[in-house]
Structure formats: structure tokens, C-alpha cells
Structure 1
């Protein structure tokens, strides 16, 4: 279980690192756009991202990505 958590964290850091390395100006624009949102809108966006992430993990599991 811990190995899956480390794998997931590593993949998140790879994607985040690529974004910062390849498009730092875009990251600044995204952060400015987030500042313009209300806390409720940011919370809703976070919940939507959570739901999408869970759906992607469930879909990968159903496709056999986690089979031994």
C-alpha cells in the first residue's frame, strides 16, 4: 500500500515539475486566476479535481492497470 502512495506522489511531483520547468509563465497566470476566485469556487474546483482523480484511478483499475 505504501509503495502505491509513493508512486502516486512521485507521479504528481513529475507532472508538477514538468509544468514549472516548461511553462513557468503559465503557472503564474494560473495562480493569478486562482486568486481571483472566491474560497467557495476554489473549494468546488478542488472537489471536482478530486472526483476526476478518483474516476481516473477507478478507470485505470478496471482496465487492469493494478493487476499483479
Structure 2
């Protein structure tokens, strides 16, 4: 179990690092766009992202 958690965290850090290394200006634009959204819209985006993550994890268990 701990191996899967470490693997998942490692993959997240790799993806985050790639975005910051390859497109730092895109991150700045994204943050500005996020600031323009209302707090409730940001919460909805967060909830949808969370739900998608749960679905992907569940799917990985079904297909393994």
C-alpha cells in the first residue's frame, strides 16, 4: 500500500515539475484565470477534479 502512495505522489510531482519547467508562463496565466473565477466555481472545479481522481483510482483497481 505504501508503495502505491509513494508512486502516486512521485507521479504527481513529476507532472507538476514538468509543467513548471516547460511552461512557467502558462502557470502564471492559469493562476490569473483562477483568480477571476468565483470562490464557488473554484470549489466546483476542485470537487470535480477530486471526483475524477477517485474514478481513475477505482478504475485502476478494477482493471488490475
TM-score (norm. length: structure 1): 0.86
Runs (4 or more) in structure 1 with deviation over 6 Å come to: none
Q: Distance in 2 between matches of 1:24 and 1:9?
A: 21
* Other-structure match for 2:61: 61
Structure 1: unaligned runs, 5 residues or longer: none
1:2 deviates by 2.4
1:4 deviates by 1.9
* Other-structure match for 2:38: 38
Please state which structure has a larger fraction of its residues in helix: 2
* Other-structure match for 1:25: 25
Structure scoring higher RCO (CA < 8 A, sep ≥ 6) equals 2
How many residues get paired? 64
Q: Distance in 2 between matches of 1:6 and 1:21?
A: 22
Q: Distance in 2 between matches of 1:57 and 1:4?
A: 11
CA RMSD of aligned residues (A): 0.9
* Other-structure match for 1:52: 52
Structure 2: unaligned runs, 5 residues or longer: none
